[in-house]
Amino acid sequence: MQRNLDVIVVGAGFAGIYMVHRMRQAGRSVRAFEAGSGVGGTWFWNRYPGARCDVESMEYSYGFSRELEQEWEWTERYAPQPEILRYINHVADRFDLRGDIQLDTKIVSAHYDDSTRDAGPSRESDGGIGRWRILTDDGESWTAAFCIMATGCLSSTNSPDIPGLDSFAGELHHTSRWPHAGVDFDAKRVGIIGTGSSGIQATPIIAREAAHLTVFQRTPNFSVPAHNIPLARETQAEIKKNYPKIRALNRERPAAFGINWGDSGGLTFDSTPDERRAAYENRWQMGGLGFVGVFADVLLDQSANDEAAEFVREKIHGIVEDPEVAALLSPDHVLGCKRPCTDTGYYEAFNRANVELIDVSRDPIERITPTGLVTTAREFELDCLVLATGFDAMTGALQRIDIRGRNGMTLVEKWSAGPVTYLGLGTSGFPNFFTITGPGSPSVLSNMVTAIEQHVDWIADCLEFMRAQGHSTIEATTAAETEWVAHVNAVADETLYPTCNSWYLGANIPGKPRVFMPHIGFPPYVEKCQDVVAKGYEGFSFPEQ
Ligand code: N01
């Protein structure tokens, strides 16, 4: 087997799969390594009950193949996890990609080796100068001219450091590492820690199955009903007829999706109170993430945000019968500064007699015991404990691999004060190293599939440019990345995003530097990427070794 490749891709989710496809098309030798026993990335791992996408299925799908988008049939407005996983598997088969994807393999280290830089000109697939040396967890080593990280933004599990967690004798499951065989909650006393998107999706379903469910909430979250429905054939056919146009229009929207919502209603206080109320109600009835875009200034103006947030709190009080529980479920942070959730029956679940809400911000969790969970106020006997505690987002998956650039510099060391990237695509000192939807790019604040395609296409085109120009090495410059990080932060600082402890800021991980990681706004970002190319890859250098 050829162990000296042109390109190594780490991960085989939406990003890795499309990267392999583009590299194949360009005639490069490529291999993707995937830790899971199947392709699909986040949709392979997150199999918890209720898992589904919060971007509509007709939008959360690849646009690179006209045939693919015409032949695939989605069944629901918001696709459930098993259907998205089937779709990704279909793509892997349809484009015959599996031969270049190695499953059940973790990358332990990726080191840039320029020790043989004087050995003569490098060709992509020779074992020559400036190569990435990759070691897998089964001890195999590979080299490649290019190392492309398709490790995902929300793939590195955050397991809370609660004393005694390992001592729990019942069933313990993290939502992002859910057993393939499923979990039987029947007649069980279940506890769930975490009320982000995962916890909010899982809660109503577990509540229906379990004897008793205790929800341990540290921070309430805003959630808007999904109003999920089967996708009518006619609706799907209509969209398919206009797919290129719809996708193009979506790419002009700030988050690259949501064409159905129409435009926002301008600035909040340019409308009368009655008009505003009607607009909130309209977006609430539409359902999903579009609620935050009801007016253009919801994430820019505190007063505008207060009013939209108050509308959601009223809705919570309207749904939840016990006013004390409703009050506990009502967030007081800025609407949208933590990613809002999209649910099916979340608040309604608290009207069930078998569901209890515990405020662990008031009575913190002290420890887990073999038989349950102890807070400062009470002990809870549990047969099953679900951790819906999220991810070490955006940087976690990258930093858990021993990645070293020039002169042995580690990525962890380089990013010790927060991720430093140019366009979220590259970082200086790490030549021929790309991150798909890396920190500093729109990624999680946009339709991930669209963001992935934009990055994969940019990288593939860049490699073609290098081939045509005879360049063997590309590297972001320090000046460009410094300026870019400052720009990403300046954009965020003009908004209300940095006001609360979100995973966008790394605030959910103890000790993680507090830096706003995603770039806000897809269209200006794409424009910048295009401009960089038009100016001969401005901000990158081609040092040739
Ligand atoms: O994770 P989260 P998630 N003790 O970080 C709590 C995407 N996603 O997996 O807020 C007690 O949002 C924590 O409390 P706090 C989506 O982008 C999408 O739910 O830190 N509680 C919080 O409530 C989403 O935003 C979909 O105070 C602890 C929760 O755990 C992202 O993934 C579905 C704790 C974690 O919430 C992450 O969502 C699922 C502790 N020690 C996920 N540690 C859809 O497409 C943490 N918490 C719909």
| Residue range 397-411, pLDDT digits in tens | 999 999 999 999 999
46: CA distance to ligand 1 center in Å? 13
Q: What is the mean pLDDT of residues 288-297?
A: 96
pLDDT of residue 115: 76
198: CA distance to ligand 1 center in Å? 6
Pocket-testing residue among 158, 161, 218, ligand 1, by greatest number of atoms within 8 A of Cβ: 218
Q: Shortest CA distance to 384 belongs to which of 158, 174, 218?
A: 174
390: CA distance to ligand 1 center in Å? 4
Protein residue whose Cα sits closest to atom 46 of ligand 1: 389
What single string gives the DSSP state of each residue in 351-388?
TSTTEEEEETTTS-EEEEETTEEEESS-EEE-SEEEE-
Q: What is the mean pLDDT of residues 63-88?
A: 98
Q: For 251-277, what is each residue's pLDDT tens digit?
A: 999 999 999 898 888 999 999 999 999
Pocket-testing residue among 43, 198, 514, ligand 1, by greatest number of atoms within 8 A of Cβ: 198
**Encoded amino acid at 188, one letter:** K
Q: Shortest CA distance to 269 belongs to which of 323, 242, 312, 305?
A: 305
Is the pLDDT reported for residue 128 higher than 60?
Answer: no
Is the pLDDT reported for residue 126 higher than 50?
Answer: no
CB atoms within 10 A of CB 341: 21
Whether this prediction's pTM lies above 0.95 is answered by yes
Is the pLDDT reported for residue 125 higher than 80?
Answer: no
State the chain's mean pLDDT as an integer.
96
Q: Shortest CA distance to 527 belongs to which of 336, 309, 256?
A: 256
Q: Spell out the SS3 assignment of 216-234.
A: EECCCCCEEECCCCECCHH
**CA–CA separation, 441 and 422 (whole Å):** 9
Q: For 463-513, what is each residue's pLDDT tens digit?
A: 999 999 999 999 999 999 999 999 999 999 999 999 999 999 999 999 999
498: CA distance to ligand 1 center in Å? 17
Tell me the pairing of strands 212-217 and 30-33. unpaired
* Cβ atoms 187, 48 nearer than 8 A: no
Is the pLDDT reported for residue 114 higher than 90?
Answer: no
Is the pLDDT reported for residue 288 higher than 50?
Answer: yes
Q: For 3-46, what is each residue's pLDDT tens digit?
A: 999 999 999 999 999 999 999 999 999 999 999 999 999 999 99
Confidence of residue 544 (pLDDT cuts 50, 70, 90): confident
**CA–CA separation, 310 and 280 (whole Å):** 10
Tell me the pairing of strands 365-369 and 372-375. antiparallel
pLDDT of residue 263: 86
